[in-house]
Amino acid sequence: MTAVCSTRNLEMVRALGADHLIDYTRADVTQTGQRYDLILDNVGDPAMYKRLYENSLNPNGICVIVAGTFFLQLFQGPWMSLTGRNKIVTYMTVTTKEDMLFLKELLETGKVKPVIDRSYPLREIPEAIRYLEGGHARGKVVITVE
């Protein structure tokens, strides 16, 4: 698996199981010449999609966007999917009991390793949002309900 991240996240991503890393602060992933069947995006940078879409996906490849702006999720991703050669999926959902059990198995066996950056109580949602808007979260930000 190839992973793209910043310098400060290289070791964390390597520990999660990536065998090839690209530091986006030193190399443009869209200019490596490498093509992928699947791109899973956990960041959602709209400026990157046209280049990713044109330069990094194999024909019939799929880009799954699990983060990003309202515009990216509802308009840009679906539009590119309709008008281009590749499929872009702008969300990932678990909708059935079987899906939940499969996800549970992946988590229990360590095949999926969640990374939680910070946890905030419900009353501190504004602070959590400010932290996320800073763009430096190194994992998911969790809101706990007390």
pLDDT along the chain (146 residues), means of 10: 87 88 88 84 69 78 69 64 63 70 87 88 94 84 90
Domain ranges, ordered by start, for the chain: 1-34, 37-112, 115-146
Residue 97's pLDDT is: 85
- Contact yes or no for 74/90 (Cβ under 8 A): yes
Residue 52's pLDDT is: 73
Residue 122's pLDDT is: 95
